[in-house]
């Protein structure tokens, strides 16, 4: 039998995640919260969500608080999700190569490594010999949706006891820099980017948080640079500095 969460406890969880990362969990997310956090309650022998919330408020339990944040903000992801975005990236990269420019790309809200490594494969293929760069945040591995040519070129499949695992080519891994960045806080010094991927995360922000996050991103996106969001998302009335290029793609003016 699962550990039930009452309305007061759920409101406290909502406040916890909003204060931490600016994500607004709606009433419909209660089942998601219990599904993702119940194992942590059992791990710490907490009989209720109130007990677990007291644990999260303890400064000595910062690692557990971070784990709770990770569990509540992790989205489904896989290699080359929304392929049209990567086709567009390849076009931008080829144009930049003709101009003698190497791209800097930020995977700004990836829950694992699939997105930045997909970006890196495209840049390595379209900008060979140039000093392109990818900045990202977390890492995991899934093989789904990798184009066969990239799979054979950049990935090593495990065999025997390692069957089912995937190793990204070391030369490619070394070109991707992982950082922990909270988009609802002052950004660290990350430089200026030509393309920013911010996909499937804005849907969790309220309007005020969206505006704050986008304004921060604009400080590190060069004029003419691209901001890519999820196909189910929109930046309508968020910033006059962004003009739509096509659905889910904006260019900074």
Active-site residues: which are they? 36, 138
* Contacts (Cβ under 8 Å, ≥6 apart) of 211: 238, 239
Q: Exposure of 67 by Cβ count < 10 A (0-12 exposed, 13-18 middle, 19+ buried)? A: middle
Residue with tokens 């930045």: 116
CA–CA gap between residue 11 and residue 216 (Å, rounded): 28
Q: Phi, psi (5° rounding) for residue 110?
A: -80, 135
Token representation of residue 164:
């089912």
Token representation of residue 120:
């890196």
CA–CA distance from 15 to each of 26, 51, 69, 99, 229 (Å)? 11, 16, 12, 48, 25
Q: Are 56 and 241 in contact (CB under 8 A)?
A: no
């Amino acid at each position: 039998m699962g550990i039930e969460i009452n309305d007061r406890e759920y409101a406290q969880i909502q406040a916890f995640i909003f204060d931490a990362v600016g994500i607004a969990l709606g009433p419909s997310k209660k089942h998601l919260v219990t599904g993702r956090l119940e194992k942590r309650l059992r791990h710490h022998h907490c009989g209720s969500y109130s007990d677990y919330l007291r644990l999260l408020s303890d400064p000595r339990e910062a690692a557990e608080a971070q784990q709770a944040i990770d569990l509540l903000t992790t989205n489904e992801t896989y290699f080359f999700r929304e392929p049209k975005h990567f086709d567009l990236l390849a076009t931008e990269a080829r144009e930049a190569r003709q101009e003698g420019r190497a791209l800097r790309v930020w995977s700004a809200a990836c829950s694992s490594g699939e997105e930045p490594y997909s970006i890196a494969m495209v840049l390595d293929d379209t900008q060979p010999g140039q000093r392109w760069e990818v900045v990202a945040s977390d890492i995991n591995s899934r093989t789904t949706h990798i184009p066969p040519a990239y799979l054979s070129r950049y990935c090593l499949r495990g065999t025997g006891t390692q069957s089912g695992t995937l190793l990204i080519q070391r030369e490619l891994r070394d070109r991707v820099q992982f950082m922990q960045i909270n988009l609802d806080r002052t950004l660290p010094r990350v430089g200026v980017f030509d393309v920013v991927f911010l996909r499937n995360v804005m849907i969790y922000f309220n309007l005020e948080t969206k505006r704050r996050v986008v304004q921060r991103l604009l400080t590190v996106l060069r004029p003419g640079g691209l901001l890519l969001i999820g196909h189910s998302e929109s930046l309508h009335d968020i910033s006059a500095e962004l003009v739509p290029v096509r659905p889910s793609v904006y260019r900074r003016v």
